[in-house]
C-alpha cells in the first residue's frame, strides 16, 4: 500500500500518517520529493482495514500494490490448475467441450441433445434446471425434475453434467444429480451462494458478472476457495458495454489477462457472449486460438422452438461441423479434444 | 412485437412467419414496402415465447414494442405510489431522509449515530448487518446481533430502520427487527432472493445493479411485486462506467426516466454512487432538485475508523449542515422533509 | 511515479531499475518489504518518457502519482477561474445561461429564438453552423452564412454568441462573427483542432468526449491552454454507457470531481446528455444544485420541425418556465442569473 | 420506420401522424391492436428528416428499421470487397500483416524495423509521423520528415506503407509518400477529416472510435465513401469499457458482426486493444481464427526505449515467432499470408 500526500503537506500531517502505520504494527517508508511525499507500507495491509487513511489530513490518495485474493493468485500458485471430473481433466493440456440446451425442457429433449453432442465430440453436457430470467413471466426451469433428466442423459452417454444453481436448495438438489455446478453471471457477487458452493464438494464453474472486473471475479473465486473448494473454473461469457450489435461483448483478452493472474482454468461461453447463432462458430475458434481451456455452448434439437435462448443455440448439424473444425485449432494450441 | 424481414425476402418466407403468428392465435399485420416487409403483431407476445422467430428464414430482426413488466408499469398505474412505513410516507409529497453507517459495528455505535441523524432531521436509520464485501477477508457484518442493535436504536429515536438482506436466513431474521429491507446492487438479479422478498411483508428498497438497464431493474421489481408485495422503492446508487474518478457513476437521469415508466418511488444513494465524502453534499442536493423521493446516505461517528466505506461517510457535523441545506431544496420541489 | 517489483525479484533486477532512474538524473527511493520491493521516483517523470520501465525484468507495474496537466491543474491554481466575455463572467458567482437551436436554420429562425431566450433570461445564444452529423446524408449546417445570422441575432439582443467549430476553416470564420467557440464531443481529442483553438483568441467551450475520462479531458484543455489561451470552459454533456433509456448518461458527479482537480469553470448541457425534452428541466435544476457554473440548452421555435435534435429541444414556453425556476436554484447556490 | 403510439392514443392523434406521413409523400400502414396502434412507414425516411414525430402527441417511440449507410451496406453489396494496394490485396483470401513502430523515430530506426518485419513475413509497414498523444507534453511525431523515412523504408524492402493522418496538412503530405492512410480512433467522427480522406485517392484504414457503435463506425466509413473513395478498411482496436486490466477491450465479436453488415474488409490491431506486449500473440491468433482480413501490430527494435507505446510493442524475435505461428492459423481459415 502506498500513501500519496498532497503537495505542500505539512510535516505534522506526514507524521500523523506515519504514526498510524506504526501504531498498527507496520513499517512506513518515506520518499520525500520536491513536490510531494509518498509513504510506502509493505506487508499485511489488513491490519489497516479499519483505518481509512484516505481521510487523514493532506492525504491525496491510497494506491494498493498487492491483490486481496491469495488462493486464486498465480503469484503463489505458479502451476496451472488441473481440475479432474471423473476421467476428464480441465486444464492446460485439454480442450473441454461442453454443450447442451439453455434449459432442460423434457426427458426426451435432453436425452436427444446429449446423444447428438456426444457423437459430435463433446465431453460435458450443459443444461439449465433453475433458470434466472429477466422477467418473472418467462419459463423458470424444471428444477429438480430437470436435474434428474440431466443425470439420466449423462449416464446414458458418458457425458459429465453441469447445471446452474441459484439458491441453497438448488445446490442441495444438484449435488445429488450432476457432476459440476455453475454460478451464473447474475450471482457472481451473491456471496452467500458462493460460500455454499464452496462447501458442496463439486467443482464450480464461476461465470463472470456482467460488469465484473477481473479483480472482483478473482475475489469471487476466492470466496469459494476460502471454504475449502479449490476446483473453480472461470467462465468468460461477455461483459456489458455500450455496443448493442451483440447481446454482450466477449472480452477475449480476459483469457491471457487471467492466465497471468491466476492458476485457475478459463473457459469461454460464446453463445451468451454474442447472443447470435451465426457468430458462435467464429468466436469458438477464436476462444481456442486465444488459449481458453474449454468452451461451453448452447445446442438445441429445435432452436426455433427453444423455451430459452433459442436465437443463440446451434443446431446439431452446426455443432457437428464446428466440433470438427475445433479439433484443428485445439491441435495448433497443443491441446487434445 | 414487430418482425422486420430482410430485403428481398420471398413470399414464402413472409407466409411462413404469418402462419406461425396465426397458429399461435395472434393476428399479423403486413406492411409491404418497395424494399422490405414488416409484420406487426400486437397483443400477448407471451404466446410466442417458445417460437424464436429471429431464426425463421429471411427474418432480419424482432423489435419489441411493449414492456414485459406490468405491475411496475406506469401505463397501468397512472398515480405515483405512496409507500407507508409507520407514520412516514415515501412518495411524491415528502423527501425521505435515510442515514446511518455502512455497517452496524456495535450497540453503542449505532445508538450514537441514530441519535445524531435523528437530531439533524433524518426519519430513517440505515445500517448493514449482512455485508456483501468484495473480498472474503473483509468484515462481513454482525448479522442477527446487528439487527437487534438496529431495532433498539430505532425504538430509542423513533427512526424507521432499514437493513440489507443477502439470503433467506437474513430475510427471516430481518422481519423480526426492522421496518424495511433492502436488496443490494449485487443481488438485483438474484431472482430467488427477490421472490422471497416479495413474500416477507416488509417494504423493499431495491438497489439498481451495477450494470442494470432500467428495463431489467423494473423487471426485478416485478419479481417482488408478482409475489404480492407492491411496496417497492427503487434506489439509484451509481452504475459502472469507464470513469474511475468516482467509485461509480451516478445516473441522475434515471430519476425522470423512471418516473415516466413506473409509479414506484425513486430514491438516491449519493454515498455509494461517488465513494468520496467531499462530493456527497453536492450530489444530495442535485438528487432533490432532479425530483428524487428520498436520499439514503452514509453517516459515521468516526469515518476514519469505520469498518466499511469510511471514505464515503459523512461526519455528524457534515450531515447536520447538509440536512439543513436540503430543506431549502425540498421546499423548492414542493416536498416536506 | 512508483515502480512496484514482482515478489521475489532478484537484487539485480532492482539494481537495474535503480540505475535507469539514476542515469536519467532522478533519485530512487527504495522500500523493501518481506514480499516485495517498491521504488519511488518523485520529480520530473518526463525524463523517463523514453524509458519504458514496465518492460524491465521483474517489474510488476508502474503507478503514476502526479497528473500530466499543469496549466489546468488546481494544485497550481487554487482560485477558480473567472472567464470574461464582454460584460458577462463565467465563474463561481454567476450562472451562465446559454440557449438556442441545435442548428441555425435561417436568419429569421435564429433571430426569433434569440429574442425569446433573451426575454426568458438567457445571456448567451448557442447555435450550430457546422454540424457534425452521424450520417453524411443529414443536414450539415449553413456554415459561414449561419455565423453571420448568429452575429446579427447577438447584436440585436445583446446576447453573447457561441458556435461549434470543426475545422481550421471554421475557426477562421468563427473569429469574425462570434464571441466564444465550442469544440464538440467528437473532436475532444482532435489535437490539431485543439491547438488551433488555443491560438484563436476566443474563449473555448470544450465538451467532454463520449468516453473521455476526466484525466483525458483535462489534458485536452491543457492542449488549448498550452498555446496561450487560458479561457477554457469545460462542458459535461453525457457519457456513453450501456443504458439506452437516455441518449447519453449525464455524469453529474463530474462537476464536484472536476472542481477538486481544476480551476476551470464547468457547465452542463442537459439536452444532449439525455436527448429527451421531458427530462431536460429536471436535469437543469440538478446541474445548478450540484454546483455547475452554467447551462447550455437547446431551445427551438418549432421543435417538431427542427432540422437537428428536435426531440431534445425545449419550446419557448418550456424554456421560459424553466428559466424562472432556475433563478431560485441559482439563489440557493449563491449565484446570480 | 415504425411509429409506436401510446396505449389509449385517441383517433385524432393517430390521424395526425398518418397525415404527416402522407403529406411528405409516404404511405403509412396501420396496425391497430387491442392495447396500442403501430404505424409502419417503409421507404425513404429522409423525407421525414425535418419532422420529429417523436414529439407528436401520443407518440411513444420511433423504431428505425433500415440503416442510414448505403455504400458500406452489405445488403446492397453482397460480395466482400477486395482492396488492392500495389500487388497486394486486402480481402477474403489473404491475411494482411502490417507491422512497425508506433512512431517513426529516425531514418535508421524505421529502416531497421522495416527489414526485420519484412524478413519475418509482413507485407505492410506501419509507422506514425503525426502522433495524437493524450498530453501536449509527450512526443508528437516527426511529421513530414517521418513520412519520407517511411517511403525510403518501403522502397528498400518492398513493403507497402501506412501512416496515420490527423489534419488536411497531414493528408496532403501523406499522399506524396505513403500507400495507405489511417484515420485514428480519436478522429473517427472528425467528419471534416473523413471527407478530406475521401478525396485523397489513397485507401483508408478507418479505426473504430473508443466508444463507437458498429452503426456509427459504418456511417463514418460512409462519409469517406460518399466522397468517391470506396477503398475503406475497418480496423477494430479495442473499445472503452469498465475493465482496466487491459488498455482497452478488444471487441472480437465485431468481426462477424461487421461481416454480416458490410462488404468492407476488417482488420484487428491487438497492440492498442490490450496495451500489454505479453497478450498480443494470443489476441493475434484469435483475430485470425475469428475471420479478420488482417492484423496491424506494433514492433520495435528496442521497446524499452520506444518514444511511444513501448509496453505494447513486440521485439523482432517475438514478431518473428508470431508470424510463423500465424501462418498455420491463416491456413486453417483458407487465407494466404
Cα distance between residue A129 and residue A147, in whole Å: 6
Q: Which chains would you list as touching D if contact means 3+ CB atom pairs under 8 Å?
A: A, B, C
Interval C159-172: pLDDT, tens? 999 999 999 999 99
B47, closest residue in chain A (CA to CA): A138
State the sign of the Cα–Cα–Cα–Cα dihedral C251, C253, C257, C259: positive
CATH number at residue B216: 3.20.20.70
* Phi, psi (degrees; rounded to nearest 5) at D296: -130, 125
Does D308 lie in the same domain as D244?
yes
pLDDT value of position D167? 96
Residue B337 lies in a domain: no
pLDDT, mean of residues C126-154: 94
In whole angstroms, give the CA distance from residue B76 to residue B73.
6
Residue C261 located in a structural domain: yes
Query: By the 8 A CB rule, do D90 and D82 touch?
Result: yes
CA angle C250, C141, C248 (to 5 degrees): 15
- Say whether residue D13 is in contact with chain A using an 8 A CB cutoff: no
Number of domains in chain D: 2
β-bridge pairing D37-41 and C294-298: unpaired
Minimum mean pLDDT range among B51-60, D44-53, D138-147: D44-53
Tell the burial category of C25 from Cβ atoms under 10 Å away from its Cβ (0-12, 13-18, 19+): exposed
Q: Output the pLDDT for position A147.
A: 97
Burial (CB count <10 Å: 0-12, 13-18, 19+), residue A78: exposed
Question: Residues A52, A175: one domain?
Answer: no
At A221 the pLDDT is: 98
State pLDDT tens for residues D77-104: 999 999 999 999 999 999 999 999 999 9
Contact A42 C31 (CB under 8 A): yes
Q: Which residues of D touch C190 (CB under 8 A)?
A: 166, 186-187, 190, 193
* CA–CA dist B235, B183 (Å, integer): 10
Contact by Cβ (8 Å): A276, A268: no
Which of B38, B43, B67 should be substituted to probe chain D, the one whose Cβ sees the most D Cβ atoms within 10 Å?
B38
How would residue C304 be classed by pLDDT, with cut points 50, 70 and 90? confident
CB contacts of A193 in chain B (<8 Å) are: 190
d(CA D29, CA D3): 10
Coil, strand or helix at A26? coil
Are residues B53 and B88 both part of a single domain? no
Of the residues D63, D87, D111, which one is the last residue of a structural domain? D63
- Residues A77-122 have pLDDT tens digits of 999 999 999 999 999 999 999 999 999 999 999 999 999 999 999 9
- pLDDT of B50 reads 63
The DSSP output letter for A128 is: B
- Do A150 and A246 sit in the same domain of this protein? yes
Look at D35 and B65 and tell me if their CB atoms are within 8 Å: no
pLDDT of A34 higher than 80: no
pLDDT tens per residue, range D217-264: 999 999 999 999 999 999 999 999 999 999 999 999 999 999 999 999
Predicted local confidence at residue A97, as pLDDT: 98
Q: Does B75 touch chain D (CB under 8 A)?
A: yes
At A251 the pLDDT is 98
- d(CA C328, CA B285) in angstroms, rounded, equals 13
Lowest mean per-residue pLDDT among D21-25, D78-82, D114-118, D179-183? D21-25
Residue of C nearest to A37 (CA): C42
Q: Are residues A33 and A131 in the same domain?
A: no
The pLDDT > 90 percentage for chain D reads 77
Q: What is the mean predicted confidence (pLDDT) over A295-322?
A: 92
Indicate the pairing of strand B28-32 with strand C37-41. Answer: unpaired
Answer whether A122's CB lies under 8 Å from A98's CB: yes
Q: What is the mean pLDDT of chain B?
A: 94
Residue ranges of E strands in chain A: 2-5, 28-32, 37-41, 59-63, 83-85, 88-90, 96-100, 124-126, 160-165, 180-183, 204-207, 232-236, 266-268, 294-298
Closest CA to C291 of C322, C260, C323: C260
- Residue B138 confidence (pLDDT): 86
Tell me whether B241 touches chain D (CB under 8 Å). yes
The predicted-structure confidence for C46-105, as pLDDT tens digits, reads as follows 777 667 888 888 998 888 888 889 999 998 999 999 999 999 999 999 999 999 999 999
Domain boundary (D16, D38, D63) is at: D63
Residues contacting residue B279 through CB under 8 Å, at least 6 positions apart = B246, B270, C253, C256, C257, C260
A337 within a domain of the structure (yes/no): no
Residue window 105-164, chain A: list those with CB within 8 Å of chain B. Answer: 132-139
Q: What is the pLDDT of residue C50?
A: 64
The closest alpha carbon to C4, from C27, C24, C31, belongs to C31
The pLDDT, as a whole number, for residue C47 is 73
Q: In this structure, is residue D337 part of a structural domain?
A: no
Task: Tell me which chain B residue has its CA closest to the CA of residue A133.
Answer: B191
* CB within 8 Å: C42 and A65: no
Same domain assignment for residues B110 and B152:
yes
For position D16, which CATH number holds?
A: 3.30.70.1140
Question: Is the pLDDT confidence value at D204 over 70?
Answer: yes
Place of cell 391492436: D33
Q: Are C99 and C301 in contact (CB under 8 A)?
A: no
Contact list, C186 vs chain D (CB under 8 Å): 189-191
At C223, which helix (H) or strand (E)?
helix C214-225
**Is B241 within 8 Å of C239 when comparing Cβ atoms?**
yes
Residue C68 covered by a domain = no
The pLDDT value given to residue D49: 65
Nearest Cα to Cα of residue B205 among B232, B174, B237:
B232
Q: Do C211 and D240 lie within an 8 Å CB cutoff?
A: yes
Residues B291 and B244 placed together within one structural domain of the fold: yes
Other C-beta atoms lying within 10 Å of the C-beta of residue B169: 14
Integer Cα distance of B217 and D1 in angstroms: 28
Closest to C42 (Cβ–Cβ): which among A38, A75, A211?
A38
Residue D44, pLDDT above cutoff 90: no
User: In angstroms, how far is CA B7 from the centroid of its own chain?
Assistant: 42
What is the SS3 assignment for D18? helix
Alpha carbon distance A274, A175 (integer Å): 30
Per the DSSP assignment, residues forming a β-bridge with B39 are B3, B30
The pLDDT of residue B46 is 72
My answer on whether C178 and C83 are in the same domain is: yes
Last residue of a domain, one of A10, A37, A63: A63
Residue B108's φ and ψ, nearest 5 degrees, are: -70, -45
Cβ of A38 under 8 Å from any chain C Cβ?
yes
Q: D189–C219: do the CB atoms touch at under 8 Å? A: no
Residues of C in contact with A40 (CB under 8 A): 2, 31, 33, 38, 40
| Cβ atoms B90, B82 nearer than 8 A | yes
Gap between the Cα atoms of D197 and D181, Å rounded: 8
Site of grid cell 481458453: A292
Angle of CA points C77, C79, C82, to nearest 5°: 110
* Phi (first) and psi of residue D151, to 5 degrees: -60, -45
pLDDT at D202: 98
CA distance D276 to D273: 9
Q: Tell me which residue in A7, A38, A65 faces C75 most closely, judged by beta carbons.
A: A7
The predicted pLDDT at position B122 comes to 98
Q: Are residues C296 and C211 in the same domain?
A: yes
| Same domain for D82 and D101 | yes
CB pairs under 8 A between A and D: 126
Structural domain of A109: 74-332
Which residues neighbour D272 within 8 Å (Cβ) at sequence distance 6 or greater?
Answer: D185, D237, D238, D247, D248, D298, D309, D312
pLDDT at B234 over 80: yes
Does A69 fall in a domain? Answer: no
User: HSE-up of D19 (CA within 13 Å, CB side)?
Assistant: 7
Residues C102, C236: one domain? yes
- For C172, residues 6+ apart whose C-beta sits below 8 A from its C-beta are none
Cell of B43: 397483443
Answer whether A249 sits within 8 Å of D251, measured CB to CB: yes
Would you call C274 and B256 a contact, using CB atoms and an 8 Å cutoff? Answer: yes
Per-residue pLDDT at C91 = 98
Going by DSSP bridges, is the β-strand pair C124-126/C160-165 parallel, antiparallel, or unpaired? Answer: parallel
**Interface predicted TM-score of the whole assembly (ipTM), two decimals:** 0.94
Tell me, yes or no, whether C37 lies in a domain. Answer: yes
How far does Cα D189 stand from its chain's mean position?
11
Residue C337 included in any domain: no
On whether any CB of chain A is under 8 Å from the CB of B247, the answer is no
CA distance A209 to A189: 8
Q: How large is the C-alpha radius of gyration of chain A? A: 23
Q: Do the Cβ atoms of A200 and A170 come closer than 8 Å?
A: no
B contact residues 176-235, partner A, Cβ 8 Å cutoff: 186-187, 189-193, 195, 209-211, 215-216, 219, 222-223, 226
For B217, the closest chain C residue by CA position comes to C243
pLDDT of residue A268: 98
Task: Kindly tell me if the per-residue pLDDT of C33 is higher than 80.
Answer: no
Give pLDDT, residue C246: 96
What is the 3-state composition of chain A as percent helix, strand, coil, each rounded to the nearest 5?
40, 20, 40
The whole-angstrom separation of Cα D61 and Cα D82 is: 40
pLDDT at C311 over 90: no
Q: Is residue D48 over pLDDT 70?
A: yes
Strand order in the sheet with B59-63: B28-32, B37-41, B2-5, B59-63
Mean pLDDT of B214-236: 97
Identify from A290, A292, A330 which residue to disrupt to test chain D contact, counting D C-beta atoms within 10 A and taking the largest count: A290
Provide the 10 A C-beta neighbour count for residue D30: 16
Q: Are D337 and D330 in contact (CB under 8 A)?
A: yes
> CB of C156 within 8 A of CB of C119?
no
Contact (CB, 8 A) for D132 and D184:
yes
Residues B195 and B244 both lie in one domain: yes
A positions 269-328 inside 8 Å of B (CB)? 277, 303-307, 310-311
Of B214, B246, B261, the CB nearest to C253: B246
Which residues lie across from B161 on neighbouring strands?
B125
Amino acid at each position: 500500500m502506498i500513501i500519496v500526500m498532497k503537495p505542500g503537506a505539512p510535516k505534522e500531517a506526514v507524521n500523523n500518517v506515519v504514526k498510524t502505520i506504526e501504531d498498527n504494527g507496520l513499517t512506513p517508508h518515506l520518499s520525500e520529493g520536491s513536490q510531494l511525499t509518498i509513504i510506502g507500507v509493505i506487508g499485511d495491509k489488513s491490519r489497516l482495514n479499519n483505518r481509512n487513511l484516505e481521510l487523514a489530513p493532506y492525504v491525496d490518495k491510497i494506491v494498493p500494490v498487492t491483490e486481496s485474493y491469495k488462493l486464486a493468485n498465480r503469484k503463489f500458485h505458479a502451476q496451472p490448475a488441473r481440475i479432474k471430473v471423473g476421467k476428464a481433466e480441465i486444464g492446460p493440456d485439454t480442450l473441454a467441450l461442453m454443450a447442451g440446451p439453455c434449459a432442460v425442457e423434457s426427458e426426451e429433449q435432453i436425452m436427444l441433445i446429449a446423444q447428438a453432442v456426444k457423437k459430435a465430440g463433446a465431453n460435458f453436457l450443459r443444461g439449465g434446471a433453475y433458470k434466472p430470467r429477466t422477467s418473472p413471466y418467462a419459463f423458470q426451469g424444471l428444477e429438480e425434475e430437470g436435474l434428474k433428466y440431466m443425470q439420466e442423459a449423462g449416464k446414458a452417454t458418458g457425458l459429465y453434467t453441469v447445471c446452474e444453481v441459484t439458491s441453497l436448495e438448488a445446490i442441495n438438489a444438484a449435488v445429488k444429480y450432476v457432476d459440476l455446478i455453475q454460478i451464473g453471471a447474475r450471482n457472481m457477487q451473491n456471496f452467500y451462494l458462493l460460500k455454499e458452493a464452496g462447501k458442496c464438494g463439486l467443482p464450480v464453474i464461476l461465470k463472470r458478472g456482467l460488469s465484473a472486473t477481473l479483480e472482483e471475479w478473482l475475489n469471487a473465486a476466492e470466496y469459494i476457495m476460502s471454504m475449502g473448494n479449490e476446483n473453480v473454473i472461470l467462465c468468460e461469457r461477455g461483459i456489458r458495454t455500450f455496443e448493442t450489435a451483440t447481446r454482450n461483448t466477449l472480452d477475449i483478452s480476459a483469457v491471457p489477462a487471467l492466465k497471468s493472474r491466476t492458476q485457475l482454468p478459463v473457459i469461454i461461453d460464446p453463445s451468451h457472449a454474442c447472443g447470435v447463432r451465426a457468430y458462435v462458430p467464429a468466436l469458438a475458434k477464436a476462444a481456442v486460438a486465444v488459449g481458453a481451456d474449454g468452451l461451453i455452448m448452447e445446442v438445441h434439437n429445435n432452436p426455433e422452438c427453444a423455451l430459452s435462448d433459442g436465437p443463440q443455440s446451434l443446431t446439431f448439424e452446426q455443432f457437428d461441423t464446428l466440433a470438427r473444425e475445433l479439433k484443428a485449432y485445439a491441435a495448433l494450441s497443443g491441446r487434445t479434444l
